[in-house]
């Protein structure tokens, strides 16, 4: 299992190229199942979850292949299997997003039920009840969701009890080929939802309102392939910005989407960072100063993203002053805290909040990544830790969501290397 070896103490400085968004790429790749002709996607990051999506598409009978330079081509005209196996779904929960497209296009789908994961129970009840309202018959047998519909799905009015990114995406993909109009109320508003809607519209779908709590989808009889470029990754961008703030550095993120990061940039400015933005870049300069800790509460977009919570907990720990970070989306998303304790971070867990008093003096230590964004917080802590080096074990979590992270950080001046084992 690969590990990362980091020697802290160097401020990050320079330019970093931001990759395509993992959380936009996954639903977009799977949406290709809906098209009758080949799709070509660009700015697709080279990540383990993307490879799992391509393997899943190939398992369904599609021809999915990587071309050069972040491009992927998928021909789903030859899909001959509607079963997403446990072997793939267990390695990537987002595989459940094939349910909507398969059901809409082929009238049936059998998809392994994703289990819980390190950060919470993460049920898929909203996905299933929305599809039932559209006329699907759904049962769970032997750990698999079995869904079928006679004829086409029927457009309907769906009110979602909770804001869910995945359920909004799955139901949008189901509705594009349904008969009539579907309205999703209390829809998630994340930028990745807008990106998926734009991609579906490029295939010939009629989706309006994406990015607002009410998404309307007028079903069409068929969709064609498209050429589509994936949105820049806002969580990768935010992670580099926090790493630069923690090391009192000065970096510029290129090929970024500043308009997707309002809540994160606002917090960084409150922490004392000078942040400038252009159409596709963000520059952060700490002028060598220590950050000031801020209170944060995670929320669905446009609130503060849960996927940035762990990174800010690490930053608050070494910043000046006391602050509280409250997690409202997932029930168990503080697995990074005990690992940060091992590096000397003073963080107290109180229910769903992480309380810091500031000025923690971090020292390098062997630590273990527990989930994707937790891994990012350990890297940030390691970049500022003194005395010993830090080794981060189980970085396969990191490889799910950060493209070439050690290369990018090295170019910014970090002392980081991957140890292959
Ligand atoms: C997506 C992101 C993930 C991010 C999360 C919240 C992808 C691939 N992953 O995950 O990085 O952390 O959004 O921004 O895009 N819930 C239910 N029933 C459901 C569905 C969700 O109770 O049917 C709950 C979840 O357990 C969770 C909350 O709703 O507590 C939000 O989850 P959701 O927005 O669905 O997250 P994902 O789409 O899984």
CB of 231 sitting under 6 A from ligand 1: no
Give the model's pLDDT for residue 115: 67
> Is there an atom of ligand 1 within 6 Å of 166 CB?
yes
CB-based contact 372:311 (threshold 8 Å): no
Average pLDDT over residues 324-335: 94
Question: What is the band of 126 on the pLDDT scale with cuts at 50, 70, 90?
Answer: very high
Of residues 324 and 88, more confidently modeled: 324
Could you identify the atom of ligand 1 that is nearest to the CA of residue 122?
26
Residue 292: CA count within 13 A, CB half-sphere:
7
pLDDT exceeds 80 at position 119? no
Inform me whether the pLDDT recorded for 116 exceeds 80. no
Q: What is the DSSP string of 3-26?
A: EEEEE-----EEEEEPPBPHHHHH
Give CA–CA dist 164/220, Å, rounded. Answer: 25
Rounded Cα–Cα distance for residues 59 and 4 (Å)? 32
- CA distances, 54 to each of 47, 51, 154, 159 (Å): 11, 5, 29, 32
N- to C-terminal Cα separation, the chain: 5
Q: Are 154 and 178 in contact (CB under 8 A)?
A: yes
CA distances from 303 to 18, 181, 284, 309 (A): 22, 29, 21, 12
Q: Give the pLDDT confidence score for residue 244 in this predicted structure.
A: 98
Q: How far is Cα 309 from Cα 287, in angstroms, rounded to an integer?
A: 24
Residue 148 has pLDDT above 90, yes or no: yes
DSSP annotation of 290 reads P
Quick check: CB of 23 below 6 Å from ligand 1? yes
How far is C-alpha 303 from the chain's CA centre? Answer: 15
Buried b (16+ CB within 10 A) or exposed e, 386-397: eeeebbbbbbeb
User: Which of 357, 381, 365, 371 is closest to 402 using CA atoms?
Assistant: 371
Chain centre to alpha carbon of residue 204 = 26
The CA distance from 383 to 419, in Å, is 17
Gap between the Cα atoms of 146 and 48, Å rounded: 27
pLDDT band with cut points at 50, 70 and 90 for residue 69 = confident
Cα(308) to centroid of ligand 1, in Å? 14
CA-CA distance, 159 to 185, in Å (whole number)?
5
Q: What is the reported pLDDT for 160?
A: 96
Closest CA to ligand 1's atom 35: 164
pLDDT of residue 332: 85
Q: Are 246 and 383 in contact (CB under 8 A)?
A: yes
**DSSP line for 27-53:** HHHHHGGGBSS-EEEES----HHHHHH
Mean confidence (pLDDT) of the chain: 96
pTM exceeding 0.95: yes
Count CB-CB contacts under 10 A for residue 232: 26
Residue 122 confidence (pLDDT) above 90: no
Q: From ligand 1's centre to the CA of 383, what distance in Å?
A: 30
Determine if ligand 1 sits within 6 Å of the CB of residue 161: no
Q: Are 293 and 329 in contact (CB under 8 A)?
A: no
**What local confidence, expressed as pLDDT, does residue 106 receive?**
97
- Cβ neighbors of 145 (< 8 A, separation 6 or more) are 96, 99, 109, 110, 111, 112, 113, 124, 128, 138, 139
52 lines ligand 1 (CB under 6 A): no
Under 8 Å between Cβ of 82 and 110: yes
Residue with tokens 């972040």: 70
Is the CB of residue 306 below 6 angstroms from any atom belonging to ligand 1? yes
138-160 mean pLDDT: 96
Is 306 strand, coil or helix? helix
348 Ramachandran zone, left/alpha/beta (phi>0; psi -120 to 50): beta
Query: Which whole number is the average pLDDT over 318-328?
Result: 98
- Probe target for ligand 1 pocket from 165, 193, 298, 398, with the most ligand atoms within 8 Å of CB: 165
Report the greatest alpha carbon distance in the chain. 66
Residue 122: CB within 6 Å of ligand 1? yes
Asked whether the beta carbons of 224 and 35 are under 8 A apart, the reply is yes
Q: What is the pLDDT of residues 200-248, one digit of tens each?
A: 999 999 999 999 999 999 999 999 999 999 999 999 999 999 999 999 9
Segment 350-397, tens digit of pLDDT: 999 999 999 999 999 999 999 999 999 999 999 999 888 999 999 988
Mark out the alpha helices in 176-287 (DSSP H runs): 191-202, 234-246, 262-270
Q: What percent of the chain has pLDDT over 70?
A: 100
Task: For a ligand 1 pocket test, name from 25, 49, 122 the mutation site with the most ligand atoms within 8 angstroms of its C-beta.
Answer: 122
Active-site residues, by number, are 117
What is the CB-side half-sphere exposure of residue 3 using CA atoms within 13 A?
Answer: 13
Which segment of 28-37, 149-158, 326-335 scores lowest on mean pLDDT?
326-335
159-182 pLDDT, tens per residue? 999 999 999 999 999 999 999 999
């Amino acid at each position: 299992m690969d590990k990362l070896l980091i020697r802290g103490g160097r401020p990050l400085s320079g330019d970093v190229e931001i990759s395509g968004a993992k959380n936009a790429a996954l639903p977009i790749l799977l949406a290709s199942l809906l098209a009758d002709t080949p799709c070509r996607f660009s700015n697709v990051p080279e990540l383990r979850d993307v490879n799992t999506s391509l393997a899943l598409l190939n398992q369904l009978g599609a021809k999915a292949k990587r071309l050069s330079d972040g491009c992927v081509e998928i021909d789903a005209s030859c899909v001959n299997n509607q079963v997403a196996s446990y072997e793939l779904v267990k390695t990537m929960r987002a595989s459940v997003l094939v349910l909507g497209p398969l059901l809409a296009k082929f009238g049936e789908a059998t998809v392994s039920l994703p289990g819980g994961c390190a950060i919470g129970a993460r049920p898929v009840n909203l996905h299933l009840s929305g599809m039932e309202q559209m006329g699907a018959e759904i049962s769970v047998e032997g750990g698999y969701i079995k869904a079928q519909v006679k004829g086409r799905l029927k457009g309907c009015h769906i009110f979602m009890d909770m804001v869910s990114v995945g359920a909004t995406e799955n139901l949008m993909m189901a509705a594009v080929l349904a008969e009539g109009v579907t309205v999703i109320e209390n829809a998630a508003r994340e930028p990745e939802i807008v990106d998926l809607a734009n991609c579906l519209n490029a295939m010939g779908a009629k989706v309006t309102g994406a990015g607002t709590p009410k998404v309307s989808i007028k079903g069409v009889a068929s969709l064609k392939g498209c050429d589509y470029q994936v949105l820049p990754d806002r969580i990768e961008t935010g992670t580099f910005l926090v790493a630069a703030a923690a090391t009192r550095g000065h970096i510029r993120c290129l090929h970024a989407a500043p308009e997707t990061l309002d809540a994160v940039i606002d917090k960084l400015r409150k922490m004392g960072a000078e942040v400038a933005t252009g159409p596709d870049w963000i520059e952060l300069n700490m002028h060598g100063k220590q950050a000031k800790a801020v209170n944060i509460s995670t929320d669905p977009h446009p609130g503060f993203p849960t996927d940035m919570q762990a990174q800010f907990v690490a930053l608050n720990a070494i910043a000046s002053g006391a602050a509280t970070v409250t997690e409202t989306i997932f029930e168990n998303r503080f697995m990074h805290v005990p690992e940060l304790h091992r590096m000397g971070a003073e963080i107290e867990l109180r229910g769903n909040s992480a309380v810091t008093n500031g000025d923690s003096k971090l020292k390098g230590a062997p630590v273990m990544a527990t989930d994707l964004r937790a891994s990012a917080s350990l890297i940030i802590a390691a970049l500022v830790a003194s005395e010993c080096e830090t080794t981060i074990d189980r970085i396969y979590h990191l490889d799910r969501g950060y493209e070439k992270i050690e290369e990018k950080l090295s170019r910014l001046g970090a002392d980081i290397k991957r140890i292959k084992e």
